[in-house]
Structure formats: structure tokens, C-alpha cells
């Protein structure tokens, strides 16, 4: 029952691990599907920041799964209980699959607040302690189609002791068992899918144990936690993710939490990951950036010059700093740049406005700046995932990798 009706149909597995396929039977009525590799739609309390539902739906190829986080919802439990009809209706969401995660991937939460029986989430009013009973009571009021089981994910920072990591794996398994028990007794959650959480910090043996034990439970899929971009060296992440995915059943999806940079997404797809959280375009939008990296795998790469080096630099792992996948439209050099954000982009922003105009909106703190950037960045990021699936289908992963190394240097 906790597995819901999610079905994964794999059409190709490239180089032994990178998976191309479709998740089918999503949502309470099973009418939705999602291509993998894919990403979820990132929201704050059900809303893509800056965009109304109407504006959002001007973007083509939106993911069919919307992510909300308990950290945004927990403090509104009484209101949702009173409302009775679930979060989807409360937030005016139509025609989407609702996934509820524990934390917001764009807001790392403070550590030191978990116990054997509780985890903590941080809302706008501060910390809220959640036991498994409260966690499940919240899920009953949210009524998601999928949710992430409760977890102790506080071992993502480097330097967590082996003993602490082992405890986090044990606690997370105990939370999962308790959640599954309550889930199976709940009529409200009939048809809802549970994703078990794989922990284990940077300890290989604990990662493997966590994956093996979680896979024994009746879950619909797996969340790989503790691999956040600024927490772990890329090579170590790839090595650990590979070890984890080798332990997981092939017929269930793997969602990697906290990783969104295009080059890191690609590396993790090669390590066997299917799904990602879509917070990266939001972070770029908040710093006044426009995604401009290239992912076209159909034109001639040689002509574009393979020698160009990425300009991300060592500081680009910091979530607050620009990556080489974007341009900072606050920069004065854009004040008389009358090109669209990206030549050939079909989004509303690029079809109707130029860089100079968005620069002006940013310089004068106009709300429309965030709206236009959110439209373009969401659209561009989804385009990247489409290209990733095409590259897997056409054996062009290496070409896509070269494209990503070039970033947006021509801009």
C-alpha cells in the first residue's frame, strides 16, 4: 500500500547505470507520468516563487510533480486540518502530483536538533519539533501523492563521527518503520507513495547498509539524503551515490536531494540517479542571474570551440555565489544589451524582453524582474533535463558533458 501505484518503465540503461525511462501511474488517479532523468517543480508553500499559476503555465514542459516541504507547511497544521480537503486544493494546485519533502533544499537547516524520537523543521516562525506521530498527522492533512519518510539527516556536514552516522542510519530506519505502520492504518493516505530515505553521511559502509535495509521495506522509491552541493566533494559524492544505487532495486525511482547544478546532475545521473529537486533555477533567480548554459546536442560542437575553460572557480560550490551556468544581469555591462536572455529561447521573457530591460528592472528593484527571471530560468532548466533525456536516448552524454563545461562563456 505504501508503494502506491508508481511504476517505472526503463527504456535504456547507459554505461551500466544511467537510466532513461518513464515513471507511470502517478497521482491518486494514476493519470500522470514523468520522464527520467527528471526534476520536480520547486515551490514555496505550493507556489513557484514569483509566479502565479497562470504565468507558470505559460512555460512548456513543466514537470508533473510539484514539491512542497514540511518546513513550509508544519506551522499551518491547524488551518489545514480545519480545511480538510488537503494541501493541493488549499494552494489552488490543479493537475499535478504533489510530493512532500521534509526540508527545503534551498534553505539548509541548523543541525543539533534531532533526538531518537524527533526531527525538527524550521518554518518562518522558528523550529517545530516533529515526532513520527506528528509527522504522519501532518501528512494526513497535506494528503500528498508521494512523501518522503521522516529522517535524521544531520550527518551531511563533513566531519560527522562514524558513531553519529551509524545512529542517523538507525534512527532513519526506525522512523521509516514507524511511519509505515501509521501509514498502513490510515485511510487518508490510501494510494499515497512513501519514499524511504538513505542516509550514511560520507561513510561508505553506512551508505550501503542504509540502502540495503531501506530497500527491504515496502517503499515506492528512495530519497538519497546528505549529498548537498556544498557539503561534499563531487568525486566522493559520485562514488557514494554509485555504491548506494547498486544496492537499490532497479524498478523503483531514486531521488537525490540537494543537488541541482547541471554538471553535478549529469554526474549523478551517470551514477544511477533518476530524480532531482528543482531548486537551482530559484537560487539563480534570487541573485539576479539568468541561466545561459548550452545544452544543445544537435549542432556542431567543434565549431563552438572545445578549448574554453569553465569560469566557475573554486568558490562556485557556495550556494550564494554565481556559477558558470548563468550571467549576472545586475552587471552594468547589460544596461545596453538588447539581446534576449538567451538567443533562440522560446520563453515569454526572451520572446518579449531584452537583457537591458531586465537589468533595469533589477536595478530599480521592480518585482517584474523576479517574474521574468523565474520564467526564463525554470524554462531553461527544464530544457536541460529534456536534453539530458535526449542525450541518453541518442548516446550523446559525452557531448552534453562538453557543452556543460563550456557554461555560458559566450555571453
51 binds Zn ion (CB under 5 A): no
165 binds Zn ion (CB under 5 A): no
Q: x/- binding map, residues 367-406, to Zn ion, per CB under 5 A?
A: ---------x------------------------------
If DSSP codes are grouped into helix, strand and coil, which group holds residue 100? strand
Determine the interface stretch with Zn ion among 178-186, 214-222, 296-304, 338-346 (rule: CB under 5 A). Answer: 338-346
Residue 268 annotated as binding site:
no
In the complex, the smallest distance separating the C-beta of residue 44 from Zn ion, rounded to whole angstroms, is 22
Determine the interface stretch with Zn ion among 22-30, 184-192, 268-276, 336-344 (rule: CB under 5 A). Answer: 336-344
Count of residues binding Zn ion (CB under 5 A)? Answer: 6
Residue 349 annotated as binding site:
no
Determine the interface stretch with Zn ion among 233-241, 274-282, 293-301, 343-351 (rule: CB under 5 A). Answer: 343-351
CB nearer to Zn ion: pick between 219 and 290: 290
Three-state helix/strand/coil letters over the chain: CCCCCCEEEEEEEECCCEEEEEEEEECCCCCEEEEECEECEECECCECCCCCHHHHCCCCCCCCEEEEEHHHHHHHHHHHHHHCCCHHHHCCCCCCEEEEECCCCCCCCCCCCCCCCEEEEEECCEEEEEEHHHHHHHHHHHCCCEEECCCCCCCCCCCCCHHHHHHHHHHHHHHHHHHHHHHHCCCCCCCCEEEEEECCCCCHHHHHHHHHHHHCCCCCEEEECCCCCCCCCHHHHHHHHHHHHHHCCCCCCEEECCCCCHHHHHHHHHCCCCEECCCHHHHHHHCCEEECCCCCCCCCHHHHCCCCCCCCCHHHHCCCCCCCCEEECCCHHHCCCCCCCCCCCCCHHHHHCCHHHHHHHHHCCCHHHHHHHHHHHHHHHHHHHHHHHHHHHCCCHHHHHHHHHHCCCCC
329 binds Zn ion (CB under 5 A): no
Cell reading at 229: 552541493
Determine the interface stretch with Zn ion among 20-28, 196-204, 278-286, 340-348 (rule: CB under 5 A). Answer: 340-348
56 binds Zn ion (CB under 5 A): no
252 binds Zn ion (CB under 5 A): no
Cell reading at 337: 544589451
Determine the interface stretch with Zn ion among 59-67, 158-166, 259-267, 342-350 (rule: CB under 5 A). Answer: 342-350
Residue 345 annotated as binding site:
yes
CB nearer to Zn ion: pick between 102 and 349: 349
Site for Zn ion in 344-363 (CB under 5 A): 345, 347, 349-350
CB nearer to Zn ion: pick between 269 and 341: 341
CB nearer to Zn ion: pick between 115 and 352: 352
CB nearer to Zn ion: pick between 89 and 339: 339
302-314 burial: b if 16+ Cβ within 10 Å, else e: eeeeeeeebebee
Residue 100 annotated as binding site:
no
CB nearer to Zn ion: pick between 136 and 387: 387
CB nearer to Zn ion: pick between 23 and 347: 347
In the complex, the smallest distance separating the C-beta of residue 340 from Zn ion, rounded to whole angstroms, is 7
In the complex, the smallest distance separating the C-beta of residue 300 from Zn ion, rounded to whole angstroms, is 23
Give the interface with Zn ion as residue ranges (CB under 5 A): 341, 345, 347, 349-350, 376
Q: Which residues are annotated as a binding site for Zn(2+)?
A: 345, 347, 350, 376
Amino acid at each position: 500500500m505504501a508503494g502506491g501505484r508508481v511504476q517505472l518503465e526503463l527504456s535504456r540503461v547507459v554505461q551500466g547505470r544511467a537510466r532513461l525511462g518513464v515513471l507511470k501511474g502517478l497521482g491518486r488517479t494514476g493519470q500522470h507520468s514523468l520522464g527520467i532523468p527528471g526534476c520536480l517543480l520547486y515551490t514555496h508553500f505550493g507556489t513557484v516563487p514569483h509566479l502565479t499559476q497562470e504565468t507558470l503555465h505559460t512555460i512548456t514542459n513543466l514537470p508533473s510533480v510539484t514539491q512542497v516541504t514540511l518546513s513550509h507547511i508544519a506551522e499551518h497544521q491547524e488551518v489545514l486540518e480545519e480545511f480538510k480537503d488537503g494541501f493541493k486544493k488549499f494552494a489552488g494546485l490543479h493537475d499535478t502530483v504533489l510530493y512532500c519533502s521534509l526540508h527545503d533544499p534551498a534553505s539548509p537547516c541548523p543541525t543539533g536538533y534531532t533526538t531518537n524520537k524527533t526531527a525538527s523543521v524550521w518554518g518562518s516562525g522558528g523550529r517545530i519539533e516533529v515526532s513520527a506521530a506528528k509527522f504522519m498527522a501532518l501528512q494526513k492533512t497535506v494528503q500528498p501523492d508521494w512523501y518522503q519518510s521522516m529522517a535524521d539527516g544531520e550527518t551531511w556536514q563533513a566531519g560527522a563521527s562514524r558513531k553519529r552516522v551509524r545512529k542517523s542510519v538507525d534512527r532513519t530506519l526506525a522512523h521509516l518503520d514507524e511511519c509505515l505502520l501509521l501509514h498502513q492504518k490510515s485511510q487518508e493516505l490510501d494510494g499515497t507513495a512513501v519514499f524511504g530515505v538513505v542516509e550514511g553521511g560520507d561513510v561508505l559502509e553506512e551508505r550501503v547498509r542504509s540502502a540495503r535495509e531501506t530497500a527491504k521495506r515496502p517503499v515506492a522509491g528512495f530519497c538519497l539524503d546528505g549529498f548537498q552541493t556544498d557539503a561534499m566533494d563531487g568525486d566522493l559524492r559520485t562514488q557514494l551515490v554509485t555504491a548506494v544505487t547498486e544496492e537499490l532495486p532497479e524498478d523503483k525511482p531514486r531521488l537525490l536531494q540537494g543537488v541541482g547544478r547541471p554538471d553535478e546532475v549529469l554526474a549523478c545521473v551517470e551514477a544511477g540517479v533518476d530524480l532531482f529537486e528543482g531548486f537551482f533555477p530559484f537560487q539563480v533567480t534570487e541573485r539576479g542571474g539568468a541561466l545561459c548554459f548550452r545544452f544543445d546536442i544537435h549542432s556542431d560542437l567543434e565549431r563552438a570551440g572545445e578549448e574554453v575553460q569553465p569560469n566557475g572557480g573554486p568558490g562556485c560550490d557556495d550556494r550564494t555565489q554565481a556559477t558558470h551556468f548563468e550571467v549576472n544581469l545586475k552587471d552594468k555591462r547589460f544596461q545596453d544589451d538588447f539581446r534576449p536572455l538567451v538567443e533562440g529561447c522560446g520563453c515569454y521573457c526572451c520572446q518579449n524582453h531584452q537583457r537591458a530591460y531586465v537589468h533595469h528592472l533589477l536595478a530599480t528593484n521592480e518585482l517584474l524582474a523576479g517574474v521574468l527571471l523565474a520564467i526564463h530560468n525554470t524554462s531553461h532548466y527544464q530544457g536541460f533535463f529534456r536534453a539530458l533525456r535526449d542525450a541518453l536516448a541518442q548516446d550523446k552524454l559525452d557531448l552534453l558533458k562538453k557543452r556543460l563545461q563550456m557554461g555560458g562563456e559566450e555571453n
